Amino acid sequence: QVVVVGSCMTDLVSCTTRLPKPGETVIGHKFFIGFGGKGANQCVQAARLGAKTSMICEVGKDSFGNEYIENFKRNEISTEFVGQTEDAATGAASIIVNSEGENVIVIVPGANLLVDSEDLKRAADVICKAKVIVCQLEITPATSLEALKMAHASGVKTLFNPAPAQADLHPQFYTLSDIFCCNETEAEILTGLPVGNPEDAGKVGSLLLERGCKLVIVTLGAEGCVMISKEDPIPKHVAAGKVKAMDTTGAGDSFVGALAFYLAYYPNLSMEEMIRKSNFIASVSVQAPGTQSSYPYRKDLPRDLF
Ligand code: ADP
């Protein structure tokens, strides 16, 4: 199965024609509350494609936390390792989306920062028996690193998404990543090099590869992705299909969740094919509003993806 160790956030989303400047108030035309957090998003996308999934996370003992647990259940995600703490509120993200589908986001991690070694110990059995483990940086990085170590030691495939980006990422994140998957911004922060096109992505990809991961994927929004691996150190551009983007919030998480599904359930596909299929799934997600609300279900997708 797919195990995700990561964050849950309640998204408070406001839609405006344009994003406000500092000090400015703009009037929005729509508000909604959604389920987000990179870890949970990735887990939900993998589950909707048909993966058996477990989420290892912490929410608050509050209404947002209760609702989040119900959300996991509706998505058929195991909540055995979802902790509910009195010491912090459920993580929250305030998101503003403009009419071009661009966004700005403020995150208050809350309970997410309380995911710790104890949570991992409780879940040791599922972590070590998983096909794929997925980690990000919205919980305490030391906890993500420990989870990756546990999985790696048991031969579980590790998929690491260094998001949100950190300039001084612990070097072991690279050596413990079978697949290191970042977007343009994260790649820029990690390497200090600009990423504006597939050629740049190939360059930063090869730099990240030298830090010890087996395979690097840099996602490029509408341009799809660039992949580069130890086995094939020539960067390969895997283009995404042309679609009309409506809301790109959470596209990267849809991509990572889909990739985790393919790694776990179709391990014999080539990486290029897995990326092509994951691009397709993420491109479906940008055509609908919201984060998890835009993630497609297996039953609604073309049969040749499975
Ligand atoms: P993030 O959400 O982390 O910023 P990206 O914007 O790079 O990530 O998007 C992740 C993936 O989502 C891309 O690799 C691509 O597969 C898909 N995607 C994102 N935006 C578009 C778009 N406008 N058209 C088609 N696919 C898209």
Task: List pLDDT tens digits, range 136-171.
Answer: 999 999 999 999 999 999 999 999 999 999 999 999
Give me the catalytic one of 119, 178, 200, 253: 253
- Check pLDDT > 90 for residue 102: no
**Which segment of 43-47, 158-162, 229-233 scores lowest on mean pLDDT?**
229-233
- Which of 248, 249, 272, 291 to probe ligand 1 with, by most ligand atoms within 8 A of CB? 248
How many domains does the chain fold into?
A: 1
Pairing relationship of beta strands 236-238 and 225-229 according to DSSP bridges: antiparallel
**Residue 52 belongs to some domain of the structure:** yes
CATH number, domain at 275? Answer: 3.40.1190.20
Q: How many whole angstroms separate alpha carbon 249 and alpha carbon 168? A: 25
105 is a domain residue: no
Residue 289: pLDDT above 90? no
Residues 57 and 39 sit within 8 Å (Cβ to Cβ): yes
- What SS3 state is found at 44? helix
Which structural domain range is residue 173 located in?
Answer: 2-10+36-90+112-305
Burial label for 124, CB within 10 Å (0-12, 13-18, 19+), is: exposed
Tokens representing 203 are 């360059």
Q: Is 282 in the pocket of ligand 1 (CB under 6 A)?
A: yes
d(CA 24, CA 26): 6
How many residues in total does the chain contain? Answer: 306
Please report whether residue 190 resides in a domain: yes
266 domain residue, yes or no: yes
Q: What is the pLDDT of residue 101?
A: 78
Q: What was the ipTM of the complex prediction?
A: 0.99
Instruction: Flag whether the pTM goes above 0.90.
Output: yes
274 close to ligand 1 (CB < 6 Angstrom): no
Q: Is 294 in the pocket of ligand 1 (CB under 6 A)?
A: no
pLDDT in tens, 175-186: 999 999 999 999
